[in-house]
A and B are shown apart, each in its own frame.
Chain A
Amino acid sequence: MRLTINGKPRTIQAHPMKRLLDAIREDCGLTGTKEGCGEGECGACTVLIDGVPVDSCLVPLAHAEGRRVTTIEGAAATRTGNALQNAFVEFGGAQCGICTPGMILAATPLKPGATLHEIQTALAGNLCRCTGYPAIFRSVEAVLKPPRRKAKRALRR
């Protein structure tokens, strides 16, 4: 199967029904894409196919043939991807990090000015157990909607 991964053309010798997730992790050695459930529930395996987020645990390798696949390793190549990566560190969107690659890729199609509901909807297929989600929303909002002033956390001595 010939496809482009993170801008690089690749030829993968594998069964056409092999999960794209396994092809990415095993045949290409790109381990940034994670398996959390194997049933399309958690989104940890999210990659982009021609810019569109999909669960790679549910995609046959054959369906990626001739397409442009983006994994987390390629996210930095776009300005949004890179900004999201930095924001997830800076605003607490990443704690244990296992959902983070999928979460960042799922957020990449969002446009500046997206509402909170639109962000939640774009990320609805990505489960996180560590953050409870608010920090993830703040991380994404930081990229899409830089604040006019820094939000304060109530800290008392």
Chain B
Amino acid sequence: MLANEPALMPIAGCTDVYVGLHFGTMPQQRFLDLWNLKELRGISVKDDVLRIGALTTYTEIIASKLVQKRLPMLVAAAREVGGAQIQNRGTLGGNVANASPAGDTLPVLVAANARIVLRSQAGTRTVPVEKFYTGYRQSVRKPGELITAIEIPRIDGKQWWRKVGTRRAQAISKIMMGAVRGKEVRIGIGSVAATVVLAPRTAAVLSGGGTIADAQAALRREIAPIDDIRSTGAYRAQVAANLLAEFWRKTE
């Protein structure tokens, strides 16, 4: 269907759709409802890769023993999405497709080296999450493609997550960080640029045994936080540096 009518907007949990409709920010009027597609649900592990179906809800992620064991930072992020009502409906695929720089799961997926699985009439392809986003609410997903799953390879190291919001629930983040400390360090940061940020140079400083101060200096160059109605660029920059130090402290 998507191939025939590329302007169709795929929808699932709709937790963002009606907000867009309500505030008039969505020009699309025709929707492709994915909600009942069982193939897009389910969490499994194959060849040591965790595969989460695009339609998996936050509630299902939180309850999944597989995710709790292999990707606890995703469970932590899912717990802080909205409230129970949103978690019961919002999906991982939706969060990825929405392409917001404030998407709660994106820093985690970036830090986890996740891959986005896309399927179209032409076939299937996977894209590393850090290459998935091209700009504010823009991704490489072609109009005829659907996100079918997110794949996360085994993580070697300690996982860490923190979201800084305007309050303890129902909050859009001011800044958040997902990070892995293993042989390699990977850091994903949200709400500090037009897209979620992978901070490879910052991570390299830490992997290479550099100081926190040096890593913080590198971080400042890898993010571009702005002032908006929720917070300021200065705050985000400072807290990003603080979060980095906290990550390092807490994963010792």
Contacts and interface: CB of A to CB of B under 8 A. Distances in A.
The reply, when asked whether chain A contacts chain B directly with Cβ atoms under 8 A, is yes
Contact of B169 (A16, A53, A62, A125): A125
A141 interface: no
B136 interface: no
Contacts of A17: 31
Interface of B: 11, 13-15, 17-19, 22-23, 31, 33, 35, 59, 82-86, 88-89, 168-170
A62 B36 CA distance: 10
A63 B35 contact: yes
Given A41-B170, A62-B33, A63-B35, A125 B85 contact: yes
Contact of B14 (A43, A52, A58): A58
B32 to A, nearest CB: 12
Interface string A1-44: 00000000000000011010000000000000000001111010
29 contacts: A38-B22, A39-B19, A39-B22, A40-B82, A40-B86, A41-B170, A52-B88, A53-B85, A53-B88, A55-B85, A58-B18, A58-B19, A58-B89, A59-B14, A60-B11, A63-B14, A63-B33, A106-B84, A121-B84, A121-B169, A122-B84, A123-B83, A124-B84, A124-B168, A124-B169, A124-B170, A125-B82, A125-B169, A127-B170
A58 B15 contact: yes
Nearest to A126: B83
A13 B84 CA distance: 29
B89 A43 contact: no
Interface string A42-62: 010010000011110111101
Given A124-B170, A125-B170, A40 B35 contact: no
Contacts, number: 71
A43 B18 contact: no
B84 A60 contact: no
A127 B171 CA distance: 13
B83 A124 contact: yes
Contacts of B84: 53, 106, 121-125
Contacts of B86: 40, 55, 58, 125
Q: Size range of the interface on A?
A: 20 to 34
A54 B84 CA distance: 8
A46 B58 CA distance: 17
A54 B89 contact: yes
B82 A57 contact: no
Residue among A58, A59, A63, A125 with the highest chain B CB neighbour number at 10 A: A58
B85 A43 contact: yes
B85 A60 contact: no
A125 B15 CA distance: 13
B87 to A, nearest CB: 8
A60 B15 contact: no
B218 to A, nearest CB: 36
A122 B86 CA distance: 11
A132 to B, nearest CB: 14
B222 to A, nearest CB: 32
Interface in A82-114: 106
Given A58-B89, A124-B169, A43 B22 contact: no
